[in-house]
């Protein structure tokens, strides 16, 4: 059986979040380890799926793109969510960084997805921000990195090539904050990965873009046995009216 579906950006974020919540490494981290949910709009949806509670999505939009590279005016109020054995905890950053090890998970979104499946994240902070704090430690210690990202962020260049071109010291003009780019390594979760994790189906992207609520949308073909395809189709249909992420302001 085959079915076509269209996901607007907010429906995509919810679907991806459900896929992340179903990953074995995430389930194991929730059961017996530490899961760190860093800032990012898709990660706000992930936080809701993992905690079962609503979060202030506008606070999670640390850096974003509107008509320029921008930073949230509320960034000083934003905080990452740390779950230990599935329960939210308050922990000092240095203690958290010292404690991370095998069996723990860091969830970090991105800004670019290249044709080879590599994700890149824009770096506005001169010290590397979240990536600077977590990436090296996670890779050194065997911490799992999970990377939720929508297919709308697909680019046609290699992330590694882009990373060599960007950086505040290399840019002469910039619409918004001049940024660098860091390639990420980990478990990438797109809409396709989410569907194939949640259901016994195969999915492929067949179109991109739209207008109105469809701006930034992705269209997918879902293939498989009838029951699985119907279940996947029903889930996507149920997500079409997911509320938009709105920001109070930008700096």
Segment 16-73, tens digit of pLDDT = 999 999 999 999 999 999 999 998 999 999 999 999 999 888 777 776 677 666 665 5
Instruction: Please report the pLDDT score of residue 12 as a whole number.
Output: 98
Question: Under DSSP, is residue 237 helix (H, G, I), strand (E, B) or coil?
Answer: helix
Instruction: Please report the pLDDT score of residue 121 as a whole number.
Output: 94
Query: How far is 149 from 137, CA to CA, in rounded Å?
Result: 22
Query: How far is 127 from 160, CA to CA, in rounded Å?
Result: 19
Note the pLDDT tens digit of each residue in 69-117. 666 555 555 688 999 999 999 998 889 999 999 999 999 999 999 999 9
Instruction: Please report the pLDDT score of residue 197 as a whole number.
Output: 98
More confident residue, 129 or 2: 2
Alpha carbon of 99 to those of 43, 94, 134: distances in Å?
A: 22, 9, 12
Interstrand relation of 144-148 and 187-189 (parallel, antiparallel or unpaired):
parallel
Bridge-partner residues for 177, per DSSP?
A: none
More confident residue, 246 or 144: 144
Q: Is the pTM for the entire model greater than 0.85?
A: yes
What mean pLDDT do residues 133-160 have? 95
**Cβ–Cβ under 8 Å, residues 209 and 215:** yes
Question: 224 pLDDT exceeds 90?
Answer: yes
Sheet of strand 144-148: strand arrangement: 87-88, 81-84, 34-37, 105-107, 144-148, 187-189
DSSP code for 176: B
More confident residue, 248 or 217: 217
Helices 9-22, 191-198: inter-axial angle, 10-degree rounding: 50
Instruction: Please report the pLDDT score of residue 16 as a whole number.
Output: 98
Q: Which residue has the tokens 């991105």?
A: 110
Strands (E) located in 74-155: 81-84, 87-88, 105-107, 112-113, 119-123, 144-148
Give the pair of three-digit tokens for residue 145.
């990195």
Question: 250 pLDDT exceeds 50?
Answer: no
């Amino acid at each position: 059986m085959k079915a076509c579906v269209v996901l607007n950006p907010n429906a995509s974020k919810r679907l991806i979040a459900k896929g992340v919540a179903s990953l074995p490494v995430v389930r194991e981290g929730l059961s017996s380890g530490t899961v760190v949910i860093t800032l990012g709009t898709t990660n706000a949806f992930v936080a809701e799926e993992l905690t079962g509670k609503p979060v202030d999505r506008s606070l999670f939009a640390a850096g974003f793109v509107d008509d320029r590279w921008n930073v949230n005016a509320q960034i000083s109020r934003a905080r990452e969510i740390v779950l230990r054995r599935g329960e939210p905890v308050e922990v000092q950053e240095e203690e958290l960084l010292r404690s991370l090890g095998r069996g723990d998970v860091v969830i970090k979104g991105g800004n670019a997805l290249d044709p080879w499946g590599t994700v890149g994240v824009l770096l506005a902070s001169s010290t590397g921000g979240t990536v600077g704090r977590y990436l090296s430690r996670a890779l050194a210690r065997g911490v799992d990195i999970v990377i939720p990202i929508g297919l709308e962020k697909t680019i046609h260049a290699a992330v590694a090539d882009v990373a060599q071109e960007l950086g505040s010291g290399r840019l002469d003009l910039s619409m918004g904050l001049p940024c660098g780019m860091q390639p990420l390594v980990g478990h990438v979760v797109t809409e396709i990965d989410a569907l194939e994790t949640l259901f016994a189906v195969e999915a492929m992207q067949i179109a991109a873009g739209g207008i109105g609520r469809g701006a930034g949308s992705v269209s997918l073909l879902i293939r498989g046995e009838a029951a699985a395809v119907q279940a996947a189709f029903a889930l996507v249909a149920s997500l079409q009216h997911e509320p938009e992420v709105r920001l109070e302001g930008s700096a």
